[in-house]
Structure 1
Amino acid sequence: MAANSSGGMQDAHLDSSLASTDDLASDWYIYETMEPAVPQDDIFPSVIPDCDPTISPRLYHICMAPISLAVLLGLSLLVKRRCLHQSCWNGVPGLLSPANFLEEEGNRGLVAAVFGILFSSLCVLVLDTDPLPLITHSSQSTREYWKILALLYYPAFYYPLMACATVRHKASYLMGCLLSWCHCVVHIWQKVDCPQSPKIYRYYSTLSYIPIILCLVLLSLWYPALLIKSFTGQKETLDKEVPGGGYYKKYLKAVLSKRPPKGSSAKLEESLLSRLQMYLRSYIYAPEEGFRIPLKLILSITTAMIAVYQVALLLLVAVIPTIQIIRAGMTKDIVVLLVQFGLVPSESPAVPGDMEKELRTVKYYLWSLEVCYICSLVLCCLLTCTMLLRTLVMHRSNLKALYQGAVLDVFYKAHILRPSRQAIVCWMSFASFQTAFACLGLLIQQVIFFICSVGFTFLFVIPLQSGTDSYLFRIIQNMWPFWLTLVVAVIVQNLAAHYQFLEQHPLRKELTNRRALYIATYLLFPINVLVGVLAGLWRMLISGLYNSIHFCQLDISLLNRGVETFDPGYHTYCHYLKIEVSQSHPVMKAFCLLLLQLARPEGPSGLRASNVEEGIQLMQHKQAPLSRARFKQSRARWWLAYTLLHNPSLTACRKTALCDPTANGTQLSTPEP
């Protein structure tokens, strides 16, 4: 009887233990024990069905690609007909220039908008299952080939959106209006029809298309404005001028009208507030009269800002929903495991029924992790955008210095500002490099700042809030004699160097007590080794933070001066400056414009030489005596000749031209017999 009763008790205990283990095993499926307050749609992004818009991407590209090709061919024929007239059909019509990147002319915002559309489209196709919209349901083995083909397809697809503005014709503006309206309406229709998608996050597809829609809206407003101006006749006068001529004349006026400041030579001491204001102004680009940022720089900054948005959006939607899912699905059984590993402090034994406080602690830790991630991402975006704005200020100062011939103010050694094969390649890839460096810089900053914020939160903030000791506090508490020794050694060395080893005279400073200096150097060598270890850690931390923050800046090198050519970003930037200065020097362009206008004195009154040069000298629009006009005309020519003569960036070209007796149209005369 006793044996049977004991066996029955054991069976009952075994059944109860199996039931408890079954309950424990069933609790491990965290999504089955989810709190009812959390909607299932917010936890499972996979429950969102695939949405097929009314106008599918494949249908959209099948219809718009032939239309874009037809517009491009029509514009090419139009340009051939306007430029060659009877010789129109002698050759094959060539491709239109998308934009004059080395000329300072209008429609810069339009070109930047098209580049923004192109880059955003490339960001979307990287994570798309069908990178080439013309081909759907591509296999995994052929997907990478379609991505490579898409890198060539999208630039050709959006090519007419930019080429319509370079023709400067009413028909081209009308085609640009129709194309931009079609693209804009279809994209907005697709996102309104299907705002959610199961890719990464339910709203990621819609949010990633915001830059494309904004740029298309800008194009949809820009082209109608150009069309209206062409019908009102405001564009006809501009077609007769040299592109960018207005800017070159304004730049020359700003250069020639500068006068040295008059006043006392005594320099007032600047206050701390004024220094702070000047420092903040160095990070804010303000337009300056007589100077315009080149088009390539505008494109690089535009695409870099869009890259910051796209990367930040991807980092946000790829991590934060996952942390929220883990926090919402946290159960007491998982907390027991974390307590046993020592990751969560607990005063009670690890029993699932007594883990309410520990469960709240784990959820608080996950919430803190989420806050650290968001704060670090916001800080990284602000720092990257600030550095990109800082680059505009540095670009302007470097270009102005090179325009004046101050090569050594920009480069650490003398450079000849002339085109080369390497310079052309770097100029072509400058905007692309700036965009890529902004993406990589934001990723590196996010990793570093997230680790630092998590360490600061879990080692300082949370222990101080909870009143518990962290591992860092314990290390500092146990090693206080070591830290005190290092601090005392550093203080003693500084005091001894100031009062015992340095003899200060009114005009000079000399070493003294050299024997004591040698003895102290020898005795403090082991302690200074430990101080050097801490200094090395601090150097590594500062170098990592500095390089990660300034990674997106191409105007500075992250390497030392002797090896800065191994920095591909800075190397590209230096060669980019050579092309810009040698090919788009405003004074050189103004001089050439003046020569072209002097060769056509019979032209319209707005292009006469006297009016141009009087405009350069900021003269009033009134009739002046003939002698005074000639005097100011001569003075303007002398100022221009003086500026060109004393520009070191043009010295090499000038000497090369002067050595050739056939330069400037001069022909050699045959020797007399």
Structure 2
Amino acid sequence: MLLLLYYVIIQACIQVLPYLQPLEDTIQTAVDALSVVFIPDPEDDGQNNGDPTSSLNFPIPKLVRPYLFAVFITLIVIVLQLLVLLANMRRNLLQLFRGEDCEIPRRQRSRYVSYASGNIHFAGYFIGYLIWGFILIAAFSVVICVSIDAFITFGNVRFVEKILLKVIPSVLFVLFKQYLNKILAQYVFLQHRGEVLALNNRRILMIFIFFNFFLDAFLGFISSIVRLIKSVIGGIIYMCRLDYSPLGRKLETMDGGFSSYCGFLHTECTHRHPVMLVFVSLLYTQTKIKELAMYDRNYVDNFKGHVFELKKQSSSRYVRKWKLAVFLIRNPTIVFFRKSFLSQLNIEDLHALNDLDNDDKKNLQRRLSIYTRRMSAARASISSETNINIIEKQRF
């Protein structure tokens, strides 16, 4: 990843710089043609002093300096985004280990194939989104740096000034209206100056809402445009982040990058869960210890000249049975996980019990009904202490 980023930066700084000088005239012509739509007749106050750039609506400065600044800014943004991505990946993986689904959608059985496919696509999508994000952020940074450099070099840019003169009053009015609503809400319409979410002066509030409705309709139109602009800028900046979907919480599964990210995390959680790894490691260690002890004993016996066969102690079986009985008495719901109980279930009941991902009310009631019908499979001394509330609490 770092090697790829280093290669892209070197190529952007070395290969592109020779082409910037020929592009200046082309970009200047295109910008002039575009600015004519907003400013048909450039103003001429007679103070150009023979400077041809003073008659241009948007004079383009030398592109080398703003381009290098834009590449440097893009590099900083990309590195920060990658660091945040790695931190979020670790946090989201720990959340999946704990069973939390506040950020990553909960695993569903019907999407197992999609998770496996997303895990396959994750590495390639990560590189593709990184390169495309670098290009978009670099282009956006170039526009900003060129505008700032034009202001510094030429003193004024008529095209940008016209846009700011039309945009700034609306923005200031929206900000004034928002702060006015906050002040009124805190000191007039809420009790205890906003420390309690309880309305005060309700009649005045209803009158204010009635007359404020028409103004908010206009502000809503402006806010929708600002929302669209923020979405575009946010999508450009967060393009290299697979853990973030610009589509929103309800539509994030339609994002291919975010879906591959979820598939990768769910696959990692399934195969690298710490509890599962510790349990398997414990079983593997105990098996190896027994094999080593058996090998050492057989080796010693063969060395003495006679073969010794281990005899199973008859008492060990009764000890295991006694421990099992005590364990089941202390944990009565474990009865429903034993082979004697599961062997009496059909395929549909087994799917209903094992499908822990679909935890809606219908499936929950079905699983509880299965436990209720099959309680006779357990002994009365154990199952009599287990009611339906305990099963629902401990099993689900």
Task: Please give the range of the TM-score, normalised by the shorter of the 2 chains.
Answer: 0.5 to 0.7
Matched, 1:408 2:91: no
Taking the TM superposition and a 5 Å limit, the aligned residue runs for 1:527-542 are: 527-542=215-230
Structure 2 counterpart SS, 1:524? helix
Deviation at residue 554 of structure 1 after TM alignment: 1.9
Structure 1 equivalent of residue 135 of structure 2: 443
Once residues 175 and 194 of structure 2 are traced to their aligned partners in structure 1, the CA distance between those partners, rounded to angstroms, is: 32
Deviation at residue 476 of structure 1 after TM alignment: 5.6
Q: Which of 55, 63, 67 is residue 373 of structure 1 equivalent to?
A: 67
Q: Which has the higher contact order (CA 8 A, sep 6+)?
A: 2
CA deviation map 1:278-328 (0-9, x unaligned): xxxxxxxxxxxxxxxxxxxxxxxx3xx344344444444564322224669
Structure 2 counterpart SS, 1:408? coil
Deviation at residue 379 of structure 1 after TM alignment: 1.5
Q: Measured at CA, do residues 590 and 390 of structure 1 come closer, stay the same or move farther in structure 2, by a change above 3 Å?
A: farther
Taking the TM superposition and a 5 Å limit, the aligned residue runs for 1:385-464 are: 385-403=79-97, 405-408=98-101, 411-413=104-106, 415=108, 420-458=112-150, 461-462=151-152
Q: Measured at CA, do residues 321 and 469 of structure 1 come closer, stay the same or move farther in structure 2, by a change above 3 Å?
A: closer
**Paired-residue identity, %:** 19
Q: Is the 8 A contact 2:85 2:241 kept in 1?
A: yes
Structure 1 equivalent of residue 278 of structure 2: 587
Taking the TM superposition and a 5 Å limit, the aligned residue runs for 1:431-510 are: 431-458=123-150, 461-462=151-152, 466-468=154-156, 470-473=158-161, 486=174, 488-504=176-192, 508-510=196-198
Once residues 409 and 361 of structure 1 are traced to their aligned partners in structure 2, the CA distance between those partners, rounded to angstroms, is: 56
Q: Aligned pair count? A: 292
CA deviation map 1:537-577 (0-9, x unaligned): 33233322322222222223333222221111121122222
Structure 1 counterpart SS, 2:198? strand
Q: Is the 8 A contact 2:186 2:193 kept in 1?
A: no
Q: Is the 8 A contact 1:489 1:527 kept in 2?
A: no
Once residues 395 and 658 of structure 1 are traced to their aligned partners in structure 2, the CA distance between those partners, rounded to angstroms, is: 42
Once residues 540 and 556 of structure 1 are traced to their aligned partners in structure 2, the CA distance between those partners, rounded to angstroms, is: 17
Q: Which of 237, 251, 265 is residue 563 of structure 1 equivalent to?
A: 251
Structure 2 equivalent of residue 225 of structure 1: none
Q: Measured at CA, do residues 342 and 379 of structure 1 come closer, stay the same or move farther in structure 2, by a change above 3 Å?
A: farther
CA deviation map 1:436-478 (0-9, x unaligned): 11111112222223233334444xx33xx65547344456668
Q: Measured at CA, do residues 501 and 457 of structure 1 come closer, stay the same or move farther in structure 2, by a change above 3 Å?
A: farther
Once residues 267 and 166 of structure 2 are traced to their aligned partners in structure 1, the CA distance between those partners, rounded to angstroms, is: 61
Structure 1 counterpart SS, 2:191? strand
Once residues 82 and 218 of structure 2 are traced to their aligned partners in structure 1, the CA distance between those partners, rounded to angstroms, is: 39
CA deviation map 1:26-67 (0-9, x unaligned): xxxxxxxxxxxxxxxxxxxxxxxxxxxxxxxxxxxxxxxxxx
Instruction: Please tell me the residue identity of whatever aligns with 1:398.
Output: N
CA deviation map 1:137-183 (0-9, x unaligned): xxxxxxxxxxxxxxxxxxxxxxxxxxxxxxxxxxxxxxxxxxxxxxx
Q: Which of 591, 598, 617 is residue 289 of structure 2 equivalent to?
A: 598
Instruction: Please tell me the residue identity of whatever aligns with 1:411.
Output: I
Once residues 366 and 575 of structure 1 are traced to their aligned partners in structure 2, the CA distance between those partners, rounded to angstroms, is: 46
Q: Is the 8 A contact 2:61 2:149 kept in 1?
A: no
Deviation at residue 434 of structure 1 after TM alignment: 0.9
CA deviation map 1:489-522 (0-9, x unaligned): 4444333333332233898443233333233323
TM-score, normalised via structure 2 length? 0.58
Instruction: Please tell me the residue identity of whatever aligns with 1:384.
Output: I
Deviation at residue 386 of structure 1 after TM alignment: 1.9
Instruction: Please tell me the residue identity of whatever aligns with 1:372.
Output: P
Structure 2 equivalent of residue 323 of structure 1: 20
Deviation at residue 583 of structure 1 after TM alignment: 2.5
Structure 2 equivalent of residue 59 of structure 1: none
Q: Is the 8 A contact 2:189 2:201 kept in 1?
A: yes
Once residues 80 and 167 of structure 2 are traced to their aligned partners in structure 1, the CA distance between those partners, rounded to angstroms, is: 40
Matched, 1:521 2:209: yes
Q: Measured at CA, do residues 309 and 499 of structure 1 come closer, stay the same or move farther in structure 2, by a change above 3 Å?
A: same
Once residues 359 and 507 of structure 1 are traced to their aligned partners in structure 2, the CA distance between those partners, rounded to angstroms, is: 57
CA deviation map 1:184-211 (0-9, x unaligned): xxxxxxxxxxxxxxxxxxxxxxxxxxxx
Deviation at residue 588 of structure 1 after TM alignment: 4.4
**Structure having the larger proportion of residues in helix:** 2
Taking the TM superposition and a 5 Å limit, the aligned residue runs for 1:654-673 are: none
| Unaligned 5+ runs, structure 1 | 1-301, 330-334, 606-650, 662-673
Deviation at residue 589 of structure 1 after TM alignment: 4.6
Deviation at residue 435 of structure 1 after TM alignment: 0.9
Q: Is the 8 A contact 2:24 2:62 kept in 1?
A: no
Q: Measured at CA, do residues 593 and 394 of structure 1 come closer, stay the same or move farther in structure 2, by a change above 3 Å?
A: farther
Q: Measured at CA, do residues 452 and 344 of structure 1 come closer, stay the same or move farther in structure 2, by a change above 3 Å?
A: farther
Instruction: Please tell me the residue identity of whatever aligns with 2:128.
Output: A
Once residues 599 and 510 of structure 1 are traced to their aligned partners in structure 2, the CA distance between those partners, rounded to angstroms, is: 69
Q: Measured at CA, do residues 510 and 358 of structure 1 come closer, stay the same or move farther in structure 2, by a change above 3 Å?
A: same
Once residues 444 and 521 of structure 1 are traced to their aligned partners in structure 2, the CA distance between those partners, rounded to angstroms, is: 42
Q: Is the 8 A contact 1:501 1:511 kept in 2?
A: yes
Q: Is the 8 A contact 1:407 1:415 kept in 2?
A: no
Once residues 176 and 116 of structure 2 are traced to their aligned partners in structure 1, the CA distance between those partners, rounded to angstroms, is: 58
Structure 1 counterpart SS, 2:131? helix
Structure 2 counterpart SS, 1:510? coil
Q: Measured at CA, do residues 574 and 471 of structure 1 come closer, stay the same or move farther in structure 2, by a change above 3 Å?
A: closer
Q: Please report the RMSD computed on the Cα atoms of aligned residues, expressed in angstroms.
A: 4.6
